Amino acid sequence: MTSSPSLLDTLRQVVGAAHVLTEGDLAAYEQDWRRRERGRALAVVRPGSTAEVAAVVRACAAQGVAIVPQGGNTGLSVGSVPDASGRQVVLSLRRMDAVRAIDGANLTMTVEAGCILQNLQAAAEGAGHLFPLSLAAEGSCTIGGNLGTNAGGTAVVRYGNTRELCLGLEVVTPQGEVWDGLSGLRKDNTGYDLRDLFIGSEGTLGVITAATMKLYPRPAARLTAWAAVPSMQAAVDLLGLAHQHLGAGLTGFEVMGQFALGLVDKHYPQLRVPLWREAPYCVLLENSDHESEAHARALFERLLEAALEAGCVSDAVVAESLAQAKALWHIRESIPLAQAEEGLNIKHDISIPIARIPAFVEETDALLAREIAGVRLVNFGHLGDGNLHYNVQAPEGGDAKAFLRDEEERINTLVFDSVARHHGSISAEHGVGSLKAAKLPRYKSKVALELMRAIKGALDPQGIMNPGRVLV
């Protein structure tokens, strides 16, 4: 490691010595969430304001030192940890965690990048509104990270991805200038859409320091149902019926394969997974209603009757209480944990046009069974958005570590090539990071990559913003 004393001195002047970490256990900043990479930072810098972020970026830019922006460091694609060189500065936004304003009449909230998602949900609720972004890491991820990766989650079918929930941004450019694009406007056609360019750019074009996010009226009732469906095609048909019957009330539509639910049953039998033995897939549906619980229940009953009659549901339960609803969601959220209990596995985060999902699953299941002996598929995800976590568990009883070492690359190629044949995406909601950056040239058009490189070169000519991510 080449230390750079004058840079560290400058950084200490900017943010205070207590907020420039160079010693002690920095694992929380250097180790990625899935424990795939452990890097080493020149320093972890924790600015407390937008002006400090700008000064940090200017100091790094002056010496050509790379910056890795970091929020909760819960990303799943290795996008927010430093490389092993010891020459990159981790810029942690965690201290910038103020809710700057909540505007009820405008249904907006202006928040700093380091706010924990769960705290924003609570702040919105405290003001009588709903902030609908919801995902597994909400207790530790930050809104800045959600924006940087355009996070998805479980309510996208109704409210969209993080992108669709954002009206304006404040960004520090790679030159250390502050773009104040905070805006509570629903309509603003005065030039290029810089907001959406920064959203999902994974810290490679600048540092998001604050955002104005949309709020929604809180629904009067939320109801959850669990349905056994005879096939993936039946699940897709059920989705169509749910759109018809629930309209915009349809807030969540998750599919879970039998093997995935079996793992939950095996490792967490106390969760009492319903209906999983009797069907190849189960579906979790959520209906938000602005009228009343009775109304929500009547709509759900009509939907499920129609679905039973159409043969796309074989059995179903509707949660009778909030506790039951939470228990059903808890089962869904326990799938990744049950996977971890079962052992090492390979995660995929793919999306496919919804109509093609049954064919994709049938073909890819068969392909993997043929090519990879003993493979076990843990298939679940946000079917309402066409997003599957089509994961692969190592064969039962074998050496999972050796399996991953020997087969992961081949399995990824088989799955991603199949995704490409079905016009899908190899990263639906987790982003590219460094994990998938090298794969983009195979799965993304040459023209798109050229456009992306031209933009990166124009905004960050020094290449100091999160290098090695998205574009390699």
Using CB under 8 A as the binding rule, the residues of this chain from 440 to 459 that contact a second copy are 440, 443-445, 447-452, 454-459
How near is the Cβ of 172 to a second copy at its closest, in Å? 10
C-beta of 71 vs 274, nearer to a second copy = 71
Gyration radius from the chain CA atoms: 23
How near is the Cβ of 151 to a second copy at its closest, in Å? 9
**Per CB under 8 A, does 249 bind a second copy?**
yes
Applying CB under 8 A, which part among 1-9, 245-253, 317-325, 397-405 lies near a second copy? 245-253
Amino acid (one-letter) located at 295:
H
Instruction: Report d(CA 351, CA 354) in Å as an integer.
Output: 8
C-beta of 20 vs 172, nearer to a second copy = 172
Helices then strands, each counted (H, E), the chain: 16, 19
Inter-axis angle of helices 400-421 and 357-371, nearest 10? 140
Subset of residues 260 to 299 that bind a second copy, contact rule: CB under 8 A:
289-291, 299
How near is the Cβ of 21 to a second copy at its closest, in Å? 30
Instruction: Report d(CA 170, CA 422) in Å as an integer.
Output: 37
Subset of residues 335 to 374 that bind a second copy, contact rule: CB under 8 A:
351-356
Q: 405: which residues sit within 8 A by CB, 6+ positions away?
A: none
Spell out a b/e string for 132-152, using b for 16 or more CB atoms within 10 Å of the CB, else e: bbbbbbbeebbbbbbbbbbbb
Question: Which position among 9, 125, 177, 399 is part of the footprint of a second copy (CB under 8 A)?
Answer: 177
Question: Which position among 50, 80, 134, 150 is part of the footprint of a second copy (CB under 8 A)?
Answer: 150
> Per-residue string for binding with a second copy, 98-117, x by CB under 8 A?
-----xxxxxx---------
> Per-residue string for binding with a second copy, 378-397, x by CB under 8 A?
----x--xxx----------
Task: Determine contact, residues 460/174, Cβ cutoff 8 Å.
Answer: yes
How near is the Cβ of 115 to a second copy at its closest, in Å? 21
**Per CB under 8 A, does 470 bind a second copy?**
yes
C-beta of 72 vs 174, nearer to a second copy = 174
C-beta of 401 vs 453, nearer to a second copy = 453
Q: Would the CA dihedral through 340, 343, 348, 353 be positive or negative?
A: negative
Subset of residues 225 to 244 that bind a second copy, contact rule: CB under 8 A:
236, 240, 243-244
**Per CB under 8 A, does 422 bind a second copy?**
no
> Per-residue string for binding with a second copy, 189-228, x by CB under 8 A?
xxxxxx-xx-xxx---x-----------x-x---------
C-beta of 1 vs 51, nearer to a second copy = 51
How near is the Cβ of 257 to a second copy at its closest, in Å? 19
Instruction: Report d(CA 91, CA 57) in Å as an integer.
Output: 9
Residue 103 structure tokens: 């505007």
Subset of residues 51 to 90 that bind a second copy, contact rule: CB under 8 A:
none
The count of C-alpha atoms lying within 13 angstroms of the C-alpha of 35, restricted to the half-sphere facing its C-beta, is 3
C-beta of 161 vs 334, nearer to a second copy = 161
Nearest C-alpha neighbor of 132 from the set 182, 166, 98: 166
How near is the Cβ of 425 to a second copy at its closest, in Å? 4
Question: Which position among 161, 364, 393, 418 is part of the footprint of a second copy (CB under 8 A)?
Answer: 161
Task: Determine contact, residues 376/396, Cβ cutoff 8 Å.
Answer: yes
Question: Which position among 424, 435, 464, 466 is part of the footprint of a second copy (CB under 8 A)?
Answer: 424
Q: Which residue reads 């991953």 in tokens? A: 404
Cα 411-413-417 angle, rounded to 5 deg? 125
C-beta of 2 vs 190, nearer to a second copy = 190
Query: How many CB atoms sit inside 10 A of residue 303's CB?
Result: 25
C-beta of 173 vs 345, nearer to a second copy = 173
Q: Would the CA dihedral through 332, 337, 342, 343 be positive or negative?
A: positive
Task: Determine contact, residues 70/149, Cβ cutoff 8 Å.
Answer: no
Determine the size of the site formed for a second copy (CB under 8 A): 93
Query: How many CB atoms sit inside 10 A of residue 405's CB?
Result: 11
Task: Determine contact, residues 64/40, Cβ cutoff 8 Å.
Answer: no
